[in-house]
Amino acid sequence: MGLWRVPSLVLVCLLLLRLPPSPACPAACRCFSSGEVDCSSHALREVPQGLATNISSLWLGYNFITVLEPHSFPALTGLLLLSLHHNRLGLIHPQALVGLGALQELDLSNNYLTVLTPETFLPLTSLAKLNLGSNRLEELEPEVLRSLPRLQALLLQDNPWVCSCDILPLWCWLSHNREKVQEETLLLCRFPEQLNKYPIMAFRNESFRQCQETSLSAQHYLVLLTIGPFSFLASIFFCTFMGFITVVYQNMRREPHFWRRHCVFKGH
């Protein structure tokens, strides 16, 4: 029996050696068999390289990441959750999130984001929850949110929203999608000062009536600037022309009297 055990042990060792190696885990991360990868609180300045493509959750919170460059992530076709909260993120390239089509939850809270374009989230066709709270957003184009067809939950609290006429499009989107807006009572104006801490969702159609009546596009202003000087010059030309016609008409009326008087003197 002992003679059979030795070859068996050798065979088991050979089989183990032939098994594919497990994906490497980046040095700054902890990788779990469940598919979660935790790279939080390691002073990272960029997304770590060498991530396995089959992970389901990626935690990158509490680092020093400032920019997401094009293709910052490998093709993580199984990634469902990505958290970048509490970084210094100020810019997301339109191609930064390519390859994350399965992503369902994205946390970008507590960063320095000021502008987001509609192209930013286009690759995220499955995204259901987006957290943009505690950034530096003063306004947000509704097209950014319309690019997320499966969005179910949106957090926008604690941003310095400017409640001018420019916020009307966002207010319209929020009003028609109230079921998606989480913690809407915390969605407050920061500027102007007289509206500081006023809830954006408390506005009504009447609040924007003046904006709708007086708002003019750049083309309208250009037309007005063109018509003004043209009308002024046209009025000067018209007045000059009418004055000339009047003088000629008056002279023509005087000439018959002159010839009549001349003939009378000749007759005498």
CATH class of domain segment(s) 24-218: alpha beta
pLDDT band (50, 70, 90) for residue 213: low
Average pLDDT over residues 76-91: 97
pLDDT computed for residue 227 by the predictor: 62
The number of C-alpha atoms within 13 Å of 35 and in the hemisphere containing its C-beta is: 12
Residue 85 · residue 110 · CB < 8 Å: yes
Average pLDDT, the chain: 84
pLDDT computed for residue 210 by the predictor: 85
Q: What percent of the chain has pLDDT over 90?
A: 68
pLDDT computed for residue 229 by the predictor: 62
pLDDT computed for residue 16 by the predictor: 43
pLDDT computed for residue 51 by the predictor: 94
Q: What is the CA radius of gyration of the chain?
A: 37
pLDDT computed for residue 242 by the predictor: 77
Average pLDDT over residues 163-170: 95
- Residue range 177-202, pLDDT digits in tens: 999 999 999 999 999 999 999 999 99
Q: How far is CA 243 from CA 237, 238, 252, in A?
A: 10, 8, 14
pLDDT computed for residue 19 by the predictor: 41
pLDDT band (50, 70, 90) for residue 248: confident
pLDDT at 235 over 80: no
pLDDT band (50, 70, 90) for residue 37: very high
> Is pTM beyond 0.75 here?
no
